[in-house]
A and B are shown apart, each in its own frame.
Chain A
Amino acid sequence: MKYLHLVVRNLFRKKTRTALTAGSFAVALFLFGILAAVDGAFKQGVDVAGVDRLVVLNRVSIIQPLPLSYRDRIARIPGVTGVTFANWFGGVYQDERNFFPQFAIDRDKYREMYPEFIVPDDQWQAFLTDKEGAIVGEALMERFNWKVGDRIPVKGTIFPGNWEFNIRGVYKGRRVQDDTTQFWFRWDYLDERKSFTKGLVGWYVIRIANPDDAVRLVKVIDEQFTNSPTETKTDTEKAFAASFVKQMGNIQLLIMSVGSVVFFTLLLVTGNTMAIAVRERTRELAVLKAVGFKDGFVLALVIAETMAVAAVGGAVGLGLAKLFTLRGDPTGGLLPFFYVSPRSIATGLGLALAVGFAAGILPALAASRLRVVDALRRI
């Protein structure tokens, strides 16, 4: 600690340069924070997927339905402890830009299949007694400033017509990363009103007794419907969510590429800045060594300065990214889990410090290897 003032004083030697260097880190880490939030938003479904849940789809395509009769057949398979189903609705609320996922759900079993979503009992009862009832995630309620009791008109696209729903309840997530942007309504209402695919559901969600048994059960379920007119493709919920992410393209590669370019540029800029800073202070560093400071100290001093700039700049950038994401999904529904996770913050800070270290190490080594007599010319 007794050396701290040396680091601090040196950082304030050229305030503009320090501010600009820290600013470079701030911009880079802000970008990292946003990219990490986007990446996380795409992968969040994978991360929060239940390990004890399987998803059964039509083998042909996700948009092809499955017979409702499969529910009982699946439920009878040993190892399966629960079955529910849902249907994608794909309606438009006021404007196409107001996208949010709407699911027609199985009113009997859907709630117990997803214990991570909390719906008050009285609200769920109200939902069960109203065929046009809907349960809405709290983030979606907030987004459109809805309240319980509101009547929500939705224009059907897959299922044509003007649909209206009464908000009977609000669900919350147990964890911050749980998706609370969904809109649930009753599948029986959909089935009653739709003019085609009656008695068909979009997919089944299954709870299994033992997650380690998933591979076997996937096989058993699909074999059950082999050679039937509607064959199934069963997968873990995690794999199902991952396949969605994959459809969006290799987001991670894109983010990695952009991030790498940004950090490499930052490394060069900071390295150059530190090299100049060290060169300007050659004489002072030589004096430090002359009076008895060892090579290692000089090396640590320069590294500490770079890393301090990196840490401050990085923290500012990540803080701004966090503030930005606190405003929620900027896309209006495409990225329901848009937030900077503590893990991303830790990774970002680690990256900033690593870049700071890498940028500082060469100038620091040069400083530590400085020959006092050469640097001073004369003592």
Chain B
Amino acid sequence: MVRIDGRGDGNSLIRARKLGKTYRRGGEEIHVLQGLDLDVDAGDFVAFMGPSGSGKTTLLNLLGGLDVPSTGSVTVAGDEITHMSASKLTAWRARHVGFVFQMYNLIPVLTAFQNVELPLLLTSLSKAERRRHVETALEVVGLGDRMRHYPRQLSGGQEQRVGIARAIVADPTFLLCDEPTGDLDRKSADEILDLLDRLVRDHGKTALMVTHDPLAAARARIVLHLEKGVLVEAAAAADRDPRG
């Protein structure tokens, strides 16, 4: 269940209240987000759409603890992250957030296995345990046979799947996906969206996705529109035919 009216029941996995972000450019103040409310339950798959500059990425940055709001608060699984120190926020991100980037952002000198292993290096898992987790994550994304490949040896779709494996390997609370199909052809994009859909449906993950692509957005259960920093519309998209 996703609400944008600030009337969530308090059991939401992600809760934003009066969220505002203002940038100062020269003498001018730019209000990117203006008092936004959002409640996302566990297991939701939410797509954020909107024109460039509408504040989609800023919203994801704030929900993912990469940036701090000018006003308002963000609470995830009961943790109010708005006032955490930078160091605590970093540790929190490692535990709770899985990032999927448009440009994949894999480390080119590391193999697929080593890229996926990165978040686990921050845990106390043994080498054998890390190996097991990484192999599982790569199997989930269908790249069990590409572990020793370097990013340059993979297609764009495969690189993104490695990126998704990296995002899920530490079993985070939720996934933040920024234009995950933005750099892919239609076929690869569909495979990635299938994968995200499967992660939500079969593995109970919660995913928040920013996209410009209506077909991609249609794969989410809920589509929210951002315009000039305000969530202006919510549309239930569950059970909608993505290609319809």
How many residue pairs between the two chains, A and B, have CB atoms under 8 Å in the bound complex? Answer: 73
Residues of B within 8 A of A6 (CB): 110
Residue in A6, A372, A378 whose Cβ sees the most chain B Cβ within 10 Å? A378
A255-292 CB mask vs B (1 if < 8 Å, else 0) is 00000000000000000000000000001100111111
Residues of A within 8 A of B179 (CB): 378
Q: Complex Cα distance A140/B166, Å?
A: 68
A349 CB, nearest partner CB in chain B, Å: 27
Select which of A3, A12, A291, A372 is within 8 A of B119 by beta carbon.
A291
> A373 to B87, Cβ gap below 8 A?
no
B145-176 CB mask vs A (1 if < 8 Å, else 0) is 00000000000000000000010000000001
Interface status of B195 (Cβ within 8 A of chain A): no
> A2 to B109, Cβ gap below 8 A?
no
> A288 to B90, Cβ gap below 8 A?
no
Select which of B67, B86, B108, B178 is within 8 A of A295 by beta carbon.
B86
Q: Complex Cα distance A289/B108, Å?
A: 16
> B61 to A373, Cβ gap below 8 A?
yes
> A284 to B93, Cβ gap below 8 A?
no
> B166 to A291, Cβ gap below 8 A?
yes
Interface status of A244 (Cβ within 8 A of chain B): no
Interface status of B99 (Cβ within 8 A of chain A): yes
Q: Contacts A10-B109, A12-B109, A290-B99 given; indicate if A2 touches B127 (C-beta within 8 A).
A: yes
Q: Complex Cα distance A379/B179, Å?
A: 9
The B85-106 residues at the A interface (CB cut-off 8 A) are 86-87, 90-91, 93-95, 99, 101-103, 105
Interface status of B66 (Cβ within 8 A of chain A): yes
Residues of B within 8 A of A327 (CB): none
Interface status of B121 (Cβ within 8 A of chain A): yes
Q: For the side of the interface on A, what is the size category?
A: 20 to 34
Residues of A within 8 A of B105 (CB): 283-284, 287, 376
> A291 to B127, Cβ gap below 8 A?
no
Interface status of B114 (Cβ within 8 A of chain A): yes
Interface status of A189 (Cβ within 8 A of chain B): no
Q: Complex Cα distance A10/B114, Å?
A: 13
> B119 to A379, Cβ gap below 8 A?
no
Q: Complex Cα distance A109/B93, Å?
A: 81
Q: Contacts A294-B87, A294-B90, A372-B66 given; indicate if A378 touches B114 (C-beta within 8 A).
A: no
Interface status of A9 (Cβ within 8 A of chain B): yes
Interface status of B75 (Cβ within 8 A of chain A): no
> A292 to B67, Cβ gap below 8 A?
no
Q: Contacts A2-B121, A292-B93, A373-B61 given; indicate if A379 touches B101 (C-beta within 8 A).
A: yes
Closest residue of chain B to A378 (Cβ to Cβ) is: B57
Q: Complex Cα distance A372/B105, Å?
A: 13
Interface status of A13 (Cβ within 8 A of chain B): yes
The B174-189 residues at the A interface (CB cut-off 8 A) are 176, 178-179
Residues of A within 8 A of B91 (CB): 292, 294
Residues of A within 8 A of B101 (CB): 287, 376, 379
Residues of B within 8 A of A372 (CB): 66
Interface status of B229 (Cβ within 8 A of chain A): no
Q: Contacts A292-B122, A379-B61 given; indicate if A9 touches B109 (C-beta within 8 A).
A: yes
Closest residue of chain A to B96 (Cβ to Cβ) is: A292
Residue in B90, B95, B110, B127 whose Cβ sees the most chain A Cβ within 10 Å? B90
Residues of B within 8 A of A13 (CB): 108-109
> Which residues of B are interface residues toward A (Cβ below 8 A)?
57, 60-61, 64, 66-67, 86-87, 90-91, 93-95, 99, 101-103, 105, 107-110, 114, 118-119, 121-122, 127, 166, 176, 178-179, 210
The 9 closest A-B pairs by CB, nearest first: A292-B94, A9-B109, A378-B57, A287-B105, A379-B178, A372-B66, A13-B109, A373-B67, A291-B119
